[in-house]
Amino acid sequence: MKILGIESSCDETAAAVYTGKGMESNVIASQAVHEQYGGVVPELASRAHHKTIWRTVQQSLDEAGVHINEIDAIAVTQGPGLMGSLLVGLCFAKGLSLSRDIPLVGVNHMDAHIYANFIDETPAYPFVALTVSGGHTQLVHVTAPFEHKLLGETRDDAAGEAFDKIGKILGLPYPAGPVIDERAKDGDPRFHDFPQAMLDNNFEFSFSGLKTSVKYFLEDQEDKEQFLEDHLDEICASVSYAITEVLVKKLRNAMEHTGVESVVLAGGVSANSMLRRKARELTKEMDCRLHIPKLAYCTDNAAMIAITGGMMAERDMYSDMELKPFASLSSRK
């Protein structure tokens, strides 16, 4: 099957083509307009999607050397995400589906992050997925394709959200996660002991208190600006340590609880070098197989939508024109 994947859940307009030979294209049009605001502005995001979606899709088809009439199914992000952004992608996919008589597959964005691991590898079921992104942090027990049990999730900020909010406090550009990761490589993670919340709860997360702790820690310094200039690498390393320690400790709990022999990392924060290193150390210690997507498949992309849509199409999990977007996991249909 040849699958066209379309992703527009937040601020990345993306399209990809997946065939039996593999991922033939993966095009991402990023939106630089949000940098000046320190975060994604929903209205600007949807407008940018509207301007770029057609040429992004066409570029993905061109790079794959596939004509739209050769496409067997169109996979599109249904949610969760920004409602305006989702609507642009969903309406475009519906129009393309109707005009070309191509079956439609609505894909859950969080499922797609998990199944991004299947682009280059084949994780063995059952496995535990640690999905860590800007909007979500959760542990999922996957027993078979699309058979998931949510073990736990964040009660407030997601890990990626915490990185970005703390980055703003530190005066770093948006998105701050990659910048903090890079600066942390040259810093001492033991420089300051930032709090690790909810360690007494097996699978739940909480990161909102961490940014408050960073804020107060900086305010306690006599010369905040000079302190930041002198110790930014150390602060970034200490923040990364606090967040990744919680993630890995919870992952250990989930592995022990389920008894799985395979683990997958998923979501944008799975690109974090400290998290990857700690996950490798943990799975080696527990004699488990670890799967981590390539960096290009960690952040929002259409390749993960295409592979997931292809797996759903193989199981006749098609959608109709009544397909609706959902903004949050709680409203998932």
Q: Is 188 annotated as a binding residue?
A: no
The reply, when asked if residue 135 is annotated as ligand binding, is yes
Please tell me whether 157 is known to bind a ligand.
Answer: no
The answer to whether the annotation marks 85 as part of a ligand binding site is no
Measuring CA to CA, which residue among 246, 245, 242 is closest to residue 192? 242
Binding residue per annotation — 134?
yes
Q: 164 labelled as ligand-binding?
A: yes
Is 171 known to sit in a ligand binding site?
Answer: no
38 is in an annotated binding site: no
Annotated binding residue at 310? no
Q: Any known ligand binding at 113?
A: yes
The annotated binding site is made up of: 109, 113, 131-135, 164, 177, 181, 272, 300
The annotated binding site for Fe cation is made up of: 109, 113, 300
The annotated binding site for substrate is made up of: 131-135, 164, 177, 181, 272
